[in-house]
Every structure is written in structure tokens, then in C-alpha cells.
Amino acid sequence: MLIKKFGGATTLASITLLIAFIAAWEWLPGAFGVPEFVLPRFSRVMTEAGAMWREGGLIKHTLATLVAVLVGFALGSLLGIAVGVGLGLSPAAEKIMSPYILALQIAPKVAFAPLFVMWLGYTIYPKILVAILIVFFPIMINVLSAIRTVDPDMINLVRTLNARRVQVFRLVEFPSAMPALFSGLRIGVTVGELVGGNLGLGFLLTAGEGQGNTAAVFVSIGLLTLIGIVAYALVVWAEGRVLHYLPRADYTTAN
């Protein structure tokens, strides 16, 4: 297959592109006279990361953000699935709730952060609530759309076998919604770190900004990005394990 044949070449090209990017980051700012406080070199960012590791509690703050992301993602996913299924199975409930859900979806999620902080203080809970809001909507909308577009012939076929309503959902509707659910999970993998507080990468980002330490800001952004990449990879892995029965495109050579 072409995928297997060129898989190694694709990986090599990706690694080469990464090396080229790091090299450009290291040498181009100095070559063009860009000040360190505007764009620090890659080696400077790595040095700052080491210093933050040793002295700034980088592990503690990273773990705090990781816990908030995981808990918020899990709760937001479960809530999105529950609401999406409920609205998908009840058109009347969707008509009643849709204006309020739309208003909440349009409102900037970060705008709720000050309220959460006022209510819950500078703890981990406002971070979790922001993550829940970010994750909830793409999953809810995808699941709702999938439930509404289930093949009616499949539902009628199961009903002819005297299946109860719960069995129709378990055997037809929910399995049909699984691809859309994982699509929503991919979209929902967002590290909604609340900037502020006294713990987490958002705190380090704010502290670095206040001190004019651009390298520290880059370290915080880099770790937030890394957490997002790992979470996305885990979703893709789970999707492959759960939806292994689905046919996939198979690109073969002319031979």
C-alpha cells in the first residue's frame, strides 16, 4: 500500500521540517537583529525551561494544568454526550433549549472566567469549568446531529424484531453516533488554561509576561501545546480502538 510504502518517507520529511524550524528559530532572530525580549532564541527558551524546572516548580504547575484539562475534558465530554443524546431523541426538548444553548455557545468562554474566579476563588475549579465549556459544545452538537441522522430503515428493522426503546438506542442510535462523537472529541481537545490564579501554566505565563521574560512565556505556551498534542493523540488512539470495525480508505498502487 502507498501508506505503508511512503510512511517512512513521510515521517522523515516531518522530522526534517521540525529540525529546519528549530534551526530557523535559533539563528534567524539573531541574523535579523531581533531583540531577545521580542523573540528569544530556541536555546534561550530551553535554558529558561531548565531554570524553571529547577527553581520555578515547573512540574507542579504543569501537573495542575494537566489535572484541570483531563477532568474538564472528561466532564465536558460526558455532559456533551448526555445533552446531545437527550436533545437528539426529543425534538420538543431541542426546540425549548436551543435558544439558551445557542446563547451560551456564542458567548466567549473565557468571558466566564472572572465569574468563576469570583465564585470559586483562585483554585483549580474555575479552570475545570472553563475546560468543560470549551469541550461541551462540539461534542454535544456532533452527537445531536448524528442521532438525528440515523438511518430510519435500521431503526424500523430493529423494531420489527420487537426491540424495546432502550435496545433501539443501544443497538442502532448510539453506535451510529460514535464516529461523530469522536469527531467532536477531536475538536474538543483544547487546553483552555485559565490565565491567572496561583497555580498552573497560566500562572507561569502571566508571571513571565509581568516580568518581561519572553522565554518563560514561550515555555508555558510550548507546554500547553504539548499537553494538547498528547490529548489529541490519545483521542485518535481510542478512536482507532473503538471504531476498528469501520472501513477505511485503502490506497493501493497500480501494481
Residues 117-136 pLDDT 10s: 888 887 888 888 888 888 89
Q: What is the pTM of this model?
A: 0.80
Residue with cell 442521532: 147
DSSP codes of every residue in 183-233 = HHHHHH----PPS-SSSSHHHHHHHHHHTT-HHHHHHHHHHHHHHHHHHHH
Give CA separation, 203 vs 57, 198, 226, in Å: 11, 6, 17
Predicted confidence (pLDDT) per residue in 33-85, tens digit: 899 889 999 999 999 999 999 886 899 999 988 888 889 899 999 999 999 99
| 32: enclosing H helix or E strand | none
How do the domains of the chain map onto residue ranges? 1-34, 37-242
36 Cβ neighbours under 8 A, 6+ residues apart? 29, 44, 214, 215
Residue 112 DSSP one-character state? G
Find cell 513521510 and name the residue: 10
Confidence at residue 47, expressed as pLDDT on a 0 to 100 scale: 94
With vertex at residue 243, the alpha carbon angle to CA 167 and CA 85, rounded to the nearest 5 degrees, is 45
Q: Decide: 58 and 52 in contact? Cβ < 8 Å.
A: yes
Residue 6 has pLDDT above 80, yes or no: no
* pLDDT per position as a tens digit, 131-154: 888 889 889 999 998 888 888 888
User: Is CATH 1.10.287.1770 correct for 37-242?
Assistant: no
CA distances from 236 to 184, 226, 232 (A): 12, 15, 6
Torsion angles phi and psi, residue 75, rounded to 5: -70, -40
